[in-house]
Structure 1
Amino acid sequence: MATAKITDDDFLCPICLDFFKEPVILECEHNFCKSCIDTAWDFEDIILCPVCRHELPVKKYTVNRLLSKIVETAEMTQQCEEAGKPRQEQKKECLLQSHECLEHKEPLKVFCQEDGSPICLVCTMSSKHAGHTFQPLEESVSMFQEKLKIAEAILKHRMNNLNEYQRKQERLISGIQKKAQSFEQHIKSEFATLHQFLQNKEQQLIQQLKDETTTITGEMKENLQKIEKKNETIQRQISAIQSKLQQEDPLLFLTGIKDEIERTMKEYEKEVRHRIYVGVVSKNLSPGVYKGPLQYSVWKEMLSVVNPGLSPLTLDPNTAYPNLVICKDLTSVKYSDIRQKSRNDHKDFFFYFCLGSEGFTSGKHYWELEVEVNEQSCFVWTVGVTKTSSQRKVLSKRNPEDGYWVLTLSNISNCIIMELTPNFLMYDEKRQKVGVYLDYEEGQVSFYNADNMSHLYTFTDTFTERLYPFFQYHPFGIKPDTAPLKLSHLKL
């Protein structure tokens, strides 16, 4: 016959889950320890079998001598195996045996999954735990250890993400601060030759830059603090879990373990469900405000002191749409119902376009465009730069991806030209004057209100081709021979 093992359920009492001691058999043929069945019946008004719940007329059982001998053999086998057990396992068993149920004074041997606490075997038969699910303590410890390890892995993953956000945020803050320093140096160099007259303006712009930098970096640092705070919170949670995992006392380990895990996971699920993420705040300083044509901008405020003048920017008749009439000096253009003589077809634009005569492959350039319209006219016009290879024959969208860095202005509230360019401004004045600034090496195209040099919009890109000044009329409601466009150009 095979040697009996401790894992054989036939040798274990269903009440104490240990080897039978003085085994007895009921009429329903279920076996129990004599002391276990006596104790169980002492707490029951009706005499029942704890296993099959068969009702018995009287407290009656028979000593099972055969089972007693078999169990003795199994116990001897257990003792031999116990001798080879690691000290850690023996220590755990001693800890298990050292705790008793406060109500029944019985060893705590099972774990109630519904109540989340260890209980004795007598508790399993009480009405308080009716319908509950029970599990041996060792299995419960292993189960919750695995759950804690999963929770720890999730928290570590989140902490790694937060660490990466922290590093990225720190790099962005450093980049903003370096860029602010670069802009400040540029501002100072631009004002070098006019320092006596421009000190107030210089300090004003520097302060504005510092305020904007403080605002942007303030938001970033505040977000960085949130990242660090969240990181610390998770680190504390991980430390608590690691401390819990090192707890050797099963009762202390399991005390509150279910609520602790549920609380940790619910907090994580809540953040995922509501998309409460700690990310990176990414803002930037505007080069158009601090690194545009500053000398010319201040010149507008100091006409009595500085007067550099503007050199003319001419238009290329070979690129003009047939309904656009260019004046003899090539510095202004107007719309006409009469189509002009055919020009070089391979250069013609499809829809009321015209280019400047001079293209740029380097340097800093600034020019102004002025349009005049009467009270009865509606105007829509687009200005900026375009590259040599941009599409000209079809009505394509005017955006950087297609080689257009342009701004559209209009006094028509429902202007359909918005389909052509997303950079759209409404103007109420009858007379419009816009400044265009190109810094080829820096990849910057900025637009300004030429009357007060207030910044309108800035593109930043990388230029690899020759760029030409670009103009477009959209003659919605414009009368013939009206809306002249005048040009002037300053090379800095």
Structure 2
Amino acid sequence: MASRRQVKSLSEEAICPICLDFFVDPVILECEHNFCRSCITQSWEKKEINSCPECREEFPERNFRVNRTLANLAEKSRKLNLDPKAKENKRHCEKHQKELKLFCETDKKLICLICRDSREHKSHNFRTPEEVVQIYKSQLECSLDSLIEKKSAVLELELNQKQKISEVREQANGLQTNITSEFTKMHQILTEKEQRLLRDLREEEERILEPIEKNLREIQENLNSIEEKLLKLQEQMEQTDEQIFL
């Protein structure tokens, strides 16, 4: 059975350097570099010069050959469910490329066994990642419980505030209804009083004006009588015939 390293090497051989995925319809250039047909075609369409994306060699013509062997290799790699873009789950020490098996409590970071024996971590305290995870989880659980209690208290405060807001709004709506009703009654009373006062005013006006208008009519009649007498006297005064005058 192929080892993991051999499988990884097989996977790398079947990857297109442009799309970084398994070859699809691979072709080989004159410089012996391989690419997906669509990848190299699109690459050349973006350039005025036909060149290899790997070695930069230039070609006078856009010539390439189908690489059936590489196509078969890519198909086999695809059937093995190899993911060319996947990364290993376990993290490794950047300095020594070893698995991180310890947690340095002094520096608060994961280290490998070689780092533990180095001068950099001398006299430091170490624990296994599993122990540290349990310690931190216990601390997080305490913090979680505390936050849950605080959340419950805040939710209760929020509920009380919402109830108070609801009560205030209900009281305000009730007062608004009462105010509107009272002012409607007052408006009706004032309207009735206005109409009564206007009626009384008209009656009082008629009562006062009736004798005055009667006196005015009598004065006008007397005036008419006087004017008639004046008119006759003036006619007599204008008479020149003495016999007629007498």
Per the shorter chain, which TM-score range? 0.3 to 0.5
Rg larger in 1 or in 2? 2
Greater strand share, structure number: 1
TM-score, normalization by structure 1: 0.20
Relative to the length of structure 2, the TM-score reads: 0.38
| Structure that is richer in helix per residue | 2
